[in-house]
């Protein structure tokens, strides 16, 4: 196996972190550090969730330098989403993520930006979700209800949903398929997000406050 092949395989295993944490914490560094510590929270022997990590270990796992780690830790302590405990006898620093505070910060972010989260129907595959939406079934009704509860008028929701459905259900030339079925993948939540984001009536409402969509 060549060096390039080894590197290519290594790059297939990235560190996973949730971007919304970086936005809620207002720090990409803390988002990465918190996510990595969250990953380790239940993999140690401490029943209270304390995790021992050296700066070198964190650097190896995340790429965060010593200075970047210190910056992230400071922000985490101030927000209350990251706890620290120093054991002087062993000269070890232990960390623990505070899930309740993290959820609180994420909720603040959603509230501040007025982002609307549409439900994910995990029991259905993308094709089934699309079919239910275009047939105006359960998914269609739940999406519509949620948007209306957020203050968008039912008339506007109906109008844009009809436009969306009309566009994506247009038959192909052969008449055997609809436009959405010709796509390699079709996630109705993501497609709807793009549609609504690009629609001025959904970009502004309630005293011209902008709305973001997470689907």
pLDDT in tens, 15-42: 667 788 888 899 999 999 999 998 888 8
Phi, psi (rounded to 5 degrees) for 173 = -60, -35
3-108: CATH architecture? Orthogonal Bundle (1.10)
- Segment 166-203, tens digit of pLDDT: 999 999 988 889 999 998 888 888 788 778 777 654 45
The residue that leads in pLDDT, 111 or 84, is 84
Is the entire prediction scored with pTM above 0.85?
no
Q: Angle formed by the axes of helices 126-134 and 154-168, to 10°? A: 120
Per-residue pLDDT, 44: 73
pLDDT at residue 73 in the model: 96
CA 168, chain centre distance (Å)? 26
Name which residue leads in pLDDT, 61 or 19: 61
Residue-level pLDDT at 45: 76
**Within 10 Å of residue 17's Cβ, how many Cβ atoms?**
18
What's the pLDDT at 55?
A: 94
CA separation, residue 170 to residues 10, 47, 101, 180, 211 (Å): 43, 56, 47, 8, 29
* Nearest to 129, CA basis, from 188, 76, 176: 188
- Tell me where in the chain the CATH 1.10.10.10 domain(s) lie: 3-108
Residues 115-171: tens digit of each pLDDT? 555 666 666 788 888 888 899 888 888 888 888 877 777 887 888 899 999 999 999
Using CA atoms, how far apart are residues 127 and 76, in angstroms rounded to an integer? 40
């Amino acid at each position: 196996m060549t060096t390039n092949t080894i590197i290519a395989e290594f790059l297939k295993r990235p560190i996973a972190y949730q971007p919304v944490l970086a936005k809620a914490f207002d720090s990409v560094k803390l988002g990465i550090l918190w996510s990595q510590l969250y990953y380790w929270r239940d993999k140690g022997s401490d029943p209270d969730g304390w995790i021992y990590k050296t700066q070198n270990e964190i650097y190896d796992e995340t790429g965060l330098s010593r200075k970047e780690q210190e910056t992230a830790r400071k922000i985490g302590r101030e927000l209350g989403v990251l706890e620290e405990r120093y054991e002087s006898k062993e000269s070890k620093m232990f960390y623990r993520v505070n899930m309740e505070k993290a959820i609180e910060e994420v909720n603040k972010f959603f509230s501040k930006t007025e982002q609307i989260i549409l439900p994910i129907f995990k029991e259905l595959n993308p094709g089934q979700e699309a079919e239910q939406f275009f047939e105006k079934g359960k998914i269609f009704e739940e999406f519509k209800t949620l948007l209306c509860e957020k203050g968008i008028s039912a008339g506007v929701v109906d109008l844009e949903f009809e436009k969306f459905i009309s566009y994506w259900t247009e038959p192909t030339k052969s008449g055997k398929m609809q436009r959405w079925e010709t796509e390699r993948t079709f996630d109705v939540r993501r497609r709807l997000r793009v549609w609504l984001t690009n629609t001025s009536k959904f970009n502004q409402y309630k005293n011209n406050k902008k709305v973001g969509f997470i689907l």
